[in-house]
Structure 1
Amino acid sequence: MSANGGTKAIIAALAANIGIAVTKFIAFLLTGSSSMLAESIHSVADSGNQGLLLLGGRRAKREATPEHPFGYGRERYIYAFIVAIVLFSLGGLFALYEAYHKAQHPEPISSWQWVPVTVLVIAIAMEGFSFRTAIKESNLIRGNQSWVRFIRRAKAPELPVVLLEDFGALIGLVLALFGVGMTLITGNGMWDAAGTAMIGLLLVIIALTLAIETKSLLLGEGADPKELAAIQRAVADGPEVERIIHMKTLYLGPEELMVAAKVAVSPCDSAEQLARGINAVEARIRSAVPIARVIYLEPDIYSAAADRAGTGQASHTAVAPAEATGPQPGAAADEVTGRPGS
């Protein structure tokens, strides 16, 4: 759902930004307004960013290979991080440079004075449509989260990126309209420079926010508390497992979660019986959390003494531990491998 919704929002933003960039650049050529130039570059950068997000989504769908056995799902995070860099450098820093240049040589808008105002009003309407689409698609997966929490916790980067881009674009258009409008009213080009500087600062702040959130995804985030609770219930909801000794989770991509756990099992008579129990636990986990596609379960015998010692180790004096792995991309079946006890 998030992938399809993200793609729809990206395409809507791309179409809007291409049209807006052309009209803004024409307005800059006619008026020489630095605010219009900054907004033109902003829209060009946004258009390139949407292209990068689409490319990242496409490349992330590649099948797993021996060199990349967990697939390419996290490539979407890489392209989202590149978007933040582009927005910071090409959008924010260029606008700040243009504001500095304009402040050194402020000039009024003396020709085609109606053009920038008309273009900005039209651009606000087009950007508003893109923002509305991003909000609509985000609401399908946001649930009852606040917008701040959704942007911070979303594992699929496309919708938060488009949301912040569109929000920044709308605020930037209002700032550009303010700068241009005050320049037309007062005849003082410093207002145009001030509007451009505010656009640059806004883009830098948004770019840094995106970079920080995407960096967290690149480093690797685990399942959220609701998903962890669902996995724990699935593991415990059966006779096969006495308790979870320890467990770790990691998002391999926006829609693929890896679960690795050492679980305490009761002594059993055969490896076949142990394997059936592990397979049943894996099936319950996938039913409870469908994105848990890669699962590693290591059965062991729980040791209260080791637990009290804080080692997190289980006893290795009874049943020899075995490891069961969930199917990786392209795998046909689970494997259960016994190991000799120590």
Structure 2
Amino acid sequence: MASKHSSKTVILAALIGNFMIFVTKLGAALYTNSSAMFSEAIHSIVDCGNQVLLLYGIKKASRKADRDHPFGYGKELYFWSFVVAMLIFAVGAGVSLYEGFHKIMEPEEIRSIHINYIVLTVAICFEAYPWKMAYDEFNARRGKRGLVDAVIRSKDPSLFAILFEDTAAMLGLFTALIGLFIGDFFGIPEADGAASIVIGLILAATAAVLAIECKGLLIGEAADQQVIDSIENLMEKHAAVESVNEVLTMHFGPTDILLNLSIDFRDEISAGDVEQIITDFEIQIKEMHPDIKRIFIEAQSRRGHFMNSQLE
């Protein structure tokens, strides 16, 4: 299924929406003295900062390879996505939890609560559109995979980071709305602070999942198993190949894969034929998988490969 939007478009839509929501929430929080609303305002401005960092990461990652970075700058995106996770945890979750505990210990009456209801309802409407854009884009890319498996297998943290952020934002808005309603209807002012704590926990959980996914990409994740299997099948079907010793892949970016191959060619094949076959393999592999940018193919006997692997 073709995607409708690029990751950059989704991030820009989320940035514009979150900034508008931040201004509205902050005004309401200052006017009504709501802890949950203040936590939501902090949440929105943190999201704005995160989206700016993701856009910066996309720009830096697009730079071409040079002498100092021969494999390019693709992992810049993974680094800045990890920074986003840390900001969500340290700033978003930290401030929300602090504000929540403070308001539970020293509850204050919320003024003009109907303003908060209006602002939260409007914010949900504003947030729904970028969330739908992020979900549609993610849904288009995941194909037939389940949501959890698609997140684990995804190599584009900028996309699932926005999906996570927007999902957390929607949950936070509904949490704030429920907390304000309980406090108003049942006369429990501490409910406002409790809602702020729940928002903080939602943000902490979001940050933890995002950090775990970005950590795997920073360390170096392999390409999808389907990609590896298709390359192995291509090699094994060739008459000149005795066996495929090893297929190693690593993502340097969402669409930048490094491929290392160790192949045992038949002994009767000449060196010139091996060179031509390797060239043909590189052309075929890049036609099959355009995301594979660099290919290194090693001609090595199976016995020699086994002996070398024992020395590692």
Shorter-chain TM-score tier: over 0.9
Task: Give the aligned residue type for 1:116.
Answer: N
Q: Paired residue for 1:21? A: 22
Counterpart in 1 of 2:134?
Answer: 134
How does 1:46-85 map onto structure 2 within 5 Å?
Answer: 46-85=47-86
User: CA distance change for structure 1 residues 186 and 301 in 2, over 3 Å: closer, same or farther?
Assistant: closer
| Equivalence for 2:252 | 252
- Secondary structure of the 2:6 match is helix
SS state at 1:68 partner: coil
Counterpart secondary structure, 1:63: coil
Hey, what's the Cα distance between the residues in 1 that align with 2:274 and 2:144? 41
Deviation by residue 1:92-147 (Cα, 9 ceiling, x = unmatched): 011000011111210121x3221100000011111111111111111221101111
TM-score, normalised on structure 1?
0.86
Q: Could you tell me which residue of structure 2 aligns to residue 322 of structure 1? A: none
Residue 289 (structure 2) pairs with residue 296 (structure 1): no
Residue type at the aligned position of 2:109:
P
Q: Deviations over 1:158-199 (max 9, x none)?
A: 111111111110000000001111222233320101100100
Q: Residue 157 of structure 2 corresponds to which residue in structure 1?
A: 157
Tell me, yes or no, if the aligned pair for 1:3 and 1:156 is still in contact at 8 Å. Answer: no
Residues 269 and 37 (structure 1 numbering): CA distance in 2 closer, same or farther, change over 3 Å? closer
Q: What pairs with 1:1-342 in structure 2 (closer than 5 Å)?
A: 5-109=6-110, 111-267=111-267, 270-303=270-303, 311=307
Larger deviation, residues 185-194 vs 19-28: 185-194
> Aligned pairs, how many?
309
The 1:4–1:235 alpha-carbon spacing in structure 2 relative to 1, beyond 3 Å, is: farther
Counterpart secondary structure, 1:290: coil
Q: Which amino acid aligns with 1:275?
A: E
2: distance between equivalents of 1:179 and 1:218? 38
More displaced stretch, 34-43 vs 225-234 = 225-234
Could you tell which deviates more after superposition, 9-18 or 294-303?
294-303
Structure 1 gaps of 5+ residues are: 315-342
Q: Give CA deviations for 1:9-54 in whole Å, capped at 9, x if unaligned.
A: 1111111101110100000111010001000000000011111110
**Paired residues of 1:168 and 1:203 also in contact (CA < 8 A):** yes
CA distance in 1, matches of 2:158, 2:246: 32
| Cα separation, 1, equivalents of 2:262 and 2:5 | 35
Shift of 1:302: 3.8
Partner of 1:338: none
Whole-angstrom distance in 2 between the partners of 1:234 and 1:2? 28
The amino acid across from 2:172 in the alignment is G
Structure 1 residue 263: Cα displacement: 0.3
* RMSD, aligned α-carbons: 1.9
Offset of residue 73 of structure 1:
0.5
Larger Rg: 1
Which secondary structure state, in structure 1, belongs to the residue aligned with residue 50 of structure 2? helix
Which residue identity does 2:288 align to in structure 1? A
Deviation at 1:218, TM superposition (A): 0.5
> TM-score, length-normalised on structure 2?
0.94
State the partner residue of 1:337. Answer: none
- AA aligned to 1:81 is F
Question: C-alpha distance in 1, partners of 2:308/2:181?
Answer: 66
Dislocated runs of 4+, deviation >6 Å: none
Instruction: Tell me the percent identity.
Output: 35
Higher RCO (CA 8 Å, separation ≥ 6 residues): 2
**Long gaps (5+) in structure 2:** none
Query: Within 2, Cα distance between the matches of 1:184 and 1:106?
Result: 13
> Using the alignment, how far apart are the partners of 1:293 and 1:175 within structure 2?
45
Deviation at 1:293, TM superposition (A): 1.2
Q: Is the partner of 1:70 in helix, strand or coil?
A: coil
